[in-house]
A and B are shown apart, each in its own frame.
Chain A
Amino acid sequence: MAAVGGSPGPAGAVLDRWPFVGRRLELDSALATVRDPAHSGVLVAGAPGLGKTRFAQELLAEAAADGRPTASALASATVATVPLGALAHLLPTSVVLAEGDGGSLHAVRLLALAREALADADGRLVLHVDDAHLLDAVSLTLLSQVVQDGSVSVVMTVRSGEPLPDALDALCRSDRLLRLDLAPLDPGSVDTLLHLALGAPLDGRAARAVTEVAAGNPLFLRELVRAGIDSGALTLVDGVWRLDGVLPPVRRVAELYDGRLAALDDESRRLLELLAVVGPVPLDLLAQIAPFDLLERLEAEGVIELEPTARPDEPELVRLSHPLFAESLRAGVPSLRWRSILAQHADRVEGWPGRRPDDALRIASWRLDAGQPVDPAVLASAAHLARVSLDSALALRLAEAWHRSEPTMTTAALCGEALFELGRWDEAEAVMHDGTSLPGDDPARLKLGHVRTTNLLLGLLRPDDARESARTELEALGADWTGDPLTPAELRSRVAIVELFAGRPDDALAVLGELPPPGPDEHDARCYVLWAIAGVQALALAGRPVAAVEVARTAMALHERIGGGIGFTYHYAHRIALLLALQEAGELTEAAASAHEGFAAAVQVGSSLGQTWYALELGRNALVRGTAASAQRWFREALSASASPGWPGQRALALSGLAAGNALVGDLDGARATVERLTALPGRFGFLEPERAVGEATLLAAEGRLADARAVLLAAAARAADGGQRTVEARLCHEVARLGGERDVVERMARLARDGDSPLVEARHDHVAAAVARDADALVAAAERLEALGCLLVAGEAYASAADLVRAAGDQRAANGLSVRATACLDQCEGARSPVRITTDAVVPLTAREREIALLAASGVQSKEIAERLYLSVRTVNNHLQNVYTKLGVSSRAELAGVLDRGPTDDG
Chain B
Amino acid sequence: MTPEQIELVQSSMQELGAGDDVVRRFYDRVFELAPETRSLFPDDMEELRTGFLATLTELVASLHELPDLALQSRALGARHRGYGVQASHYAVVRAALLDTLASTLGDGFTPAHAAAWGQAYDLLAEVMQQGAAASAGGPSIASRRPR
- B5 — nearest CB in chain A belongs to which residue? A201
Chain A 286-330, CB-CB to B under 8 Å as 1, else 0, gives 010000100110011000111010000000101000000000000
Task: Determine whether B40 belongs to the interface, using a CB cutoff of 8 Å to chain A.
Answer: no
Q: Distance in Å from the Cβ of B140 to the closest Cβ of chain A?
A: 5
Chain B interface SS verdict (over half): helix
Which residues of chain B come closer than 8 Å to A25, judged between CB atoms?
87-88, 91
| Whole-angstrom CA separation of A19 from B136 in the bound complex | 11
Which residues of chain B come closer than 8 Å to A336, judged between CB atoms?
none
Which residues of chain A come closer than 8 Å to B36, judged between CB atoms?
none
| Whole-angstrom CA separation of A5 from B140 in the bound complex | 14
**Choice from B1, B64, B146 contacting A239 with Cβ under 8 Å:** B64
Which residues of chain B come closer than 8 Å to A21, judged between CB atoms?
126
Task: Determine whether A189 belongs to the interface, using a CB cutoff of 8 Å to chain B.
Answer: yes
Cross-chain contact B2 with A5 (CB below 8 angstroms):
no
Which residues of chain B come closer than 8 Å to A196, judged between CB atoms?
66, 123, 126-127
Given contacts A7-B71, A61-B136, A201-B6, contact A318 B141 (CB under 8 A): yes
Given contacts A58-B136, A62-B134, A308-B138, contact A191 B1 (CB under 8 A): yes
Cross-chain contact A204 with B2 (CB below 8 angstroms):
yes
Given contacts A28-B88, A204-B2, contact A316 B145 (CB under 8 A): no
| Whole-angstrom CA separation of A306 from B143 in the bound complex | 10
Cross-chain contact B1 with A201 (CB below 8 angstroms):
yes
| Whole-angstrom CA separation of A45 from B144 in the bound complex | 33
Task: Determine whether B119 belongs to the interface, using a CB cutoff of 8 Å to chain A.
Answer: yes
Cross-chain contact B141 with A4 (CB below 8 angstroms):
no
- B74 — nearest CB in chain A belongs to which residue? A7
Q: Distance in Å from the Cβ of A292 to the closest Cβ of chain B?
A: 6
**Choice from A19, A27, A28 contacting B126 with Cβ under 8 Å:** A19
Which residues of chain B come closer than 8 Å to A64, judged between CB atoms?
134
**Choice from A8, A54, A295, A304 contacting B67 with Cβ under 8 Å:** A8
In chain A between 174 and 205, which residues have their CB closer than 8 angstroms to a CB of chain B?
188-189, 191-192, 195-196, 199-204
Q: Distance in Å from the Cβ of B137 to the closest Cβ of chain A?
A: 3
Q: Give chain A's interface residue range (CB within 8 Å of chain B).
A: 35 or more
**Choice from B4, B67, B87, B144 contacting A316 with Cβ under 8 Å:** B144
Task: Determine whether A207 belongs to the interface, using a CB cutoff of 8 Å to chain B.
Answer: yes
Chain A 35-59, CB-CB to B under 8 Å as 1, else 0, gives 0000000000000000000100110
Cross-chain contact B127 with A299 (CB below 8 angstroms):
no
Task: Determine whether B10 belongs to the interface, using a CB cutoff of 8 Å to chain A.
Answer: no
Interface size on B, residues (CB 8 A): 37
Cross-chain contact A1 with B87 (CB below 8 angstroms):
no
Which residues of chain A come closer than 8 Å to B91, judged between CB atoms?
25
| Whole-angstrom CA separation of A54 from B137 in the bound complex | 11
Cross-chain contact A188 with B119 (CB below 8 angstroms):
yes
Cross-chain contact A200 with B135 (CB below 8 angstroms):
no
| Whole-angstrom CA separation of A299 from B123 in the bound complex | 28
**Choice from A8, A22, A54, A57 contacting B70 with Cβ under 8 Å:** A8
| Whole-angstrom CA separation of A306 from B70 in the bound complex | 27
**Choice from A2, A24, A299 contacting B87 with Cβ under 8 Å:** A24
| Whole-angstrom CA separation of A308 from B71 in the bound complex | 28
Cross-chain contact A299 with B141 (CB below 8 angstroms):
yes
Cross-chain contact A195 with B1 (CB below 8 angstroms):
yes
Which residues of chain A come closer than 8 Å to B139, judged between CB atoms?
1, 306, 308, 316
| Whole-angstrom CA separation of A204 from B70 in the bound complex | 22
Which residues of chain B come closer than 8 Å to A768, judged between CB atoms?
none
Task: Determine whether B86 belongs to the interface, using a CB cutoff of 8 Å to chain A.
Answer: yes
| Whole-angstrom CA separation of A555 from B70 in the bound complex | 73
Given contacts A8-B70, A240-B3, contact A65 B138 (CB under 8 A): no
Chain B 45-67, CB-CB to A under 8 Å as 1, else 0, gives 00000000000000000001011
| Whole-angstrom CA separation of A7 from B127 in the bound complex | 10
Which residues of chain A come closer than 8 Å to B136, judged between CB atoms?
4-5, 20, 54, 57-58, 60-61
Q: Distance in Å from the Cβ of B146 to the closest Cβ of chain A?
A: 7
Task: Determine whether A444 belongs to the interface, using a CB cutoff of 8 Å to chain B.
Answer: no
Cross-chain contact B134 with A287 (CB below 8 angstroms):
no
- B88 — nearest CB in chain A belongs to which residue? A25
Task: Determine whether A843 belongs to the interface, using a CB cutoff of 8 Å to chain B.
Answer: no
Cross-chain contact A5 with B137 (CB below 8 angstroms):
yes
| Whole-angstrom CA separation of A306 from B2 in the bound complex | 36
| Whole-angstrom CA separation of A304 from B2 in the bound complex | 33
Task: Determine whether A10 belongs to the interface, using a CB cutoff of 8 Å to chain B.
Answer: yes
| Whole-angstrom CA separation of A21 from B87 in the bound complex | 12
Cross-chain contact A24 with B129 (CB below 8 angstroms):
yes
Which residues of chain A come closer than 8 Å to B2, judged between CB atoms?
201-204, 207
Cross-chain contact B130 with A287 (CB below 8 angstroms):
no
Which residues of chain A come closer than 8 Å to B137, judged between CB atoms?
1, 4-5, 61
**Choice from A2, A11, A65, A191 contacting B140 with Cβ under 8 Å:** A2
Cross-chain contact B87 with A292 (CB below 8 angstroms):
no
Q: Distance in Å from the Cβ of B3 to the closest Cβ of chain A?
A: 5
Given contacts A292-B146, A306-B138, contact A195 B67 (CB under 8 A): no
Q: Distance in Å from the Cβ of B122 to the closest Cβ of chain A?
A: 5
Which residues of chain B come closer than 8 Å to A200, judged between CB atoms?
66
| Whole-angstrom CA separation of A807 from B15 in the bound complex | 101
Task: Determine whether B31 belongs to the interface, using a CB cutoff of 8 Å to chain A.
Answer: no
- A10 — nearest CB in chain B belongs to which residue? B67
Given contacts A189-B122, A195-B1, A196-B123, contact A299 B66 (CB under 8 A): no
Cross-chain contact B142 with A65 (CB below 8 angstroms):
no
Cross-chain contact A296 with B3 (CB below 8 angstroms):
no
Which residues of chain B come closer than 8 Å to A19, judged between CB atoms?
126, 130
Cross-chain contact B4 with A24 (CB below 8 angstroms):
no
Given contacts A28-B88, A62-B133, contact A7 B3 (CB under 8 A): no
Which residues of chain A come closer than 8 Å to B118, judged between CB atoms?
188
Task: Determine whether B27 belongs to the interface, using a CB cutoff of 8 Å to chain A.
Answer: no
In chain B between 1 and 48, which residues have their CB closer than 8 angstroms to a CB of chain A?
1-6
Task: Determine whether A838 belongs to the interface, using a CB cutoff of 8 Å to chain B.
Answer: no
Which residues of chain A come closer than 8 Å to B138, judged between CB atoms?
1, 306, 308
- B119 — nearest CB in chain A belongs to which residue? A191
- A65 — nearest CB in chain B belongs to which residue? B134
Q: Distance in Å from the Cβ of B80 to the closest Cβ of chain A?
A: 12
Task: Determine whether B109 belongs to the interface, using a CB cutoff of 8 Å to chain A.
Answer: no
| Whole-angstrom CA separation of A283 from B140 in the bound complex | 11
| Whole-angstrom CA separation of A299 from B142 in the bound complex | 8
Interface centre among B91, B144, B145 (most CB of A within 10 A): B144
Chain B 99-143, CB-CB to A under 8 Å as 1, else 0, gives 000000000000000000011001100110110011111111110
Which residues of chain A come closer than 8 Å to B3, judged between CB atoms?
201, 203, 240
Q: Distance in Å from the Cβ of A293 to the closest Cβ of chain B?
A: 9
Which residues of chain A come closer than 8 Å to B87, judged between CB atoms?
24-25, 27-28
| Whole-angstrom CA separation of A60 from B138 in the bound complex | 11
Give me 17 other A-B pairs in contact (C-beta within 8 A), A57-B136, A199-B67 excluded.
A2-B140, A4-B135, A5-B136, A22-B126, A61-B133, A188-B118, A199-B66, A203-B2, A240-B3, A283-B141, A295-B141, A296-B142, A299-B140, A306-B141, A308-B138, A308-B139, A318-B141
18 residue pairs from A and B, CB less than 8 Å apart: A4-B136, A7-B70, A8-B70, A10-B67, A24-B87, A61-B133, A62-B133, A195-B1, A196-B66, A201-B3, A201-B6, A201-B64, A202-B2, A239-B64, A296-B145, A306-B139, A306-B141, A316-B139
Q: What 6 A-B pairs have minimum CB-CB distances, sorted nearest first?
A: A4-B137, A65-B134, A24-B87, A61-B136, A1-B137, A299-B141
Q: Which residues of A contact B (CB under 8 A)?
A: 1-2, 4-5, 7-8, 10-11, 19-22, 24-25, 27-28, 54, 57-58, 60-62, 64-65, 188-189, 191-192, 195-196, 199-204, 207, 239-240, 283, 287, 292, 295-296, 299-300, 304-306, 308, 316, 318
